[in-house]
A and B are shown apart, each in its own frame.
Chain A
């Protein structure tokens, strides 16, 4: 039972490059989330999805895009990487209701 799986675990990008952070869950959860966590800070919600085909902005969506074509996958896209996007990115999911979130291991992204 893998839970929430994120890839890659680490990545270094140059300014202006693009990349996709992958997130997949095998628990058939409807709700999925992307967060970023800067050093010494709490988690900030970037985007979330309440089901396949439905996505919505969180607190800090600028510079990111998402899609949800299947229940399992919720990729996060950076189109033009900027140094301010250097952070640790976490994906999470819940089945529904006010239940605690299950987190992936995170992706550590540095943009130089």
Chain B
């Protein structure tokens, strides 16, 4: 079965800290990867796509290592509003996605 594995956390960090989430995927044929954010009792929302060259969006940086089948998300200068569960997602073929169980982040004042 094609899977995505994440550290479940929780990660409890102070405001202003840098935090990194890691994720591995088992389907070597996956071509597209994403990080989603999910607030408590809400729907997942796209945070960013992940590209082989790495990509940055403000305080967020995503990296992909295809050889190791490894994806990362770095959040710099954490804000209270960053508290959420972060889902690592890999394309599973036929326009399907495989979701990790998520890593919970709590940013503490």
A residues whose Cβ falls under 8 Å from a Cβ of B: 31, 33, 35, 40-43, 45, 48, 50, 56, 58-59, 88, 90, 94, 96-101, 103-106, 108
Contacts and interface: CB of A to CB of B under 8 A. Distances in A.
Interface stretch (B11-19, B56-64, B68-76, B91-99): B91-99
Contact of B96 (A40, A48, A105, A108): A48
Interface of B: 1, 4, 8, 31-32, 34, 36, 41-46, 49, 87, 91, 94-97, 99-102
Contacts of B8: 40
**B interface, by DSSP: helix, strand, loop or mixed?**
loop
A58 B49 CA distance: 23
26 contacts: A33-B96, A40-B101, A41-B101, A42-B87, A42-B102, A43-B44, A43-B87, A43-B99, A45-B96, A45-B97, A48-B96, A50-B95, A90-B43, A94-B95, A98-B31, A98-B32, A98-B91, A98-B95, A99-B32, A100-B34, A100-B46, A101-B46, A103-B43, A104-B43, A105-B43, A108-B41
